Structure 1
Amino acid sequence: MKEYGSNIQKLVEHIVSVPDKATRTKHAHILVELMRQIHPQMREGIDYSKKLWDDLYIMANFDLDVDSPFPPPPKEILGRKPNRIPYTQKHLRYRFYGRNIELLVAKAIATESFDERKAFVSYLVRLMQDFFLNWNKDTIEVENCLQQILQMSENQLQKEVDSLRKDGLIEGANPKDRNKGTSRQPAFRGNDRPYRNNRNNRNNNNNRNRNSRFTKKNNNNRKRT
């Protein structure tokens, strides 16, 4: 087993070749503790101790006669596949969007204000386009997203979809900001560049003034000395 290295494998082969069972048992217990120290991050417990003894039997090709605290594992353990984890997933109309999109559609339906529902649907379209790109190379059209939202909402967002078809998507629509009651802060773009330049200039001027005062102070000290 690669996780223990070739030296451990050689020690296992040596223990198997020991003729005395009591000596083999003693060496096997010592080797298991050595294997435990190789991976100290593993938890202490019965399950991990059993795993170490199972690994020891596996490295010995199940040809190890010792008095161990656990019975030898069955040979079929090597070819046995792990049990499949059951997933409690319901039927999804569009798997590449995931369950969260359907939950957000339900949340959009429950939103009281028409304008907020409309903004919510616009946000969903942008989100669906991003999710779609994770599974496909091509982009999905806005109209297709709107049709899918109508199917997932069972036409309960028909008015909002019709309004978006007429007016277009709402830029920067994000229902999270509405729930928090905070307005989105615009990112620094073209019109913000003069402000940033002025702020940087003020910082540079302040640094120059501090350096100038420090230089004058040093010159005065030299004159006194």
Structure 2
Amino acid sequence: MEYNTNRLKLVIPEYGRNIHKMIDYAIQIKNRKKRNRCAWGIIKLMTSSIHPKFQKSIPYFQHKLWNQLFIMSKYQLDIDTPFPKPNTKEPYRISFCRKVVYPKYLTNFRYYGKIIRNMIDAAIRCKDTQKKEGLFYAIANTMKKNYLRWNKNMVEDDVIFNDLKELSKGKICLMKNTDPLLQCSHIMRYRKKEKY
């Protein structure tokens, strides 16, 4: 069995391994007419793999396909084309998407979201102590709702308080002997009403 890790790396992976194999086959054809027909067939296949809506929106669409055909053949394909061949000295650059860098806040406590983190920062900056305490409990209740959306199991207030303490880097510490948070059953019942 042949695994992809043992195979050659694809030049343009979007077209798949079969298109690359067809191009390699076309390079080996000795008769120029057959090679040209094979190249046109490959271009038709490449065109069929792209949605027609995007074919019209991309300027010079056919020209790009022919350039990509030459790139995938590593400029070894000798055929007659309707467009000028790309310059081999200055390789045609394919703009690939950069790898998406995920923010650090997504690594732990993803289910709370970024807005909760912004709310915690705003509550810590608040000057009025009574208002600050109310914000802390509002944030804790919102965290409990978010937790229950993510995980349908019941959650104790201590878990939310510890998560809040960790998210605020120890600046917010709510004790269990103070006011309890909303009951899980109340939050779940409210969610069921929203669905219907």
Greater Rg, structure 1 or structure 2? 1
Q: TM-score, normalised by structure 2?
A: 0.47
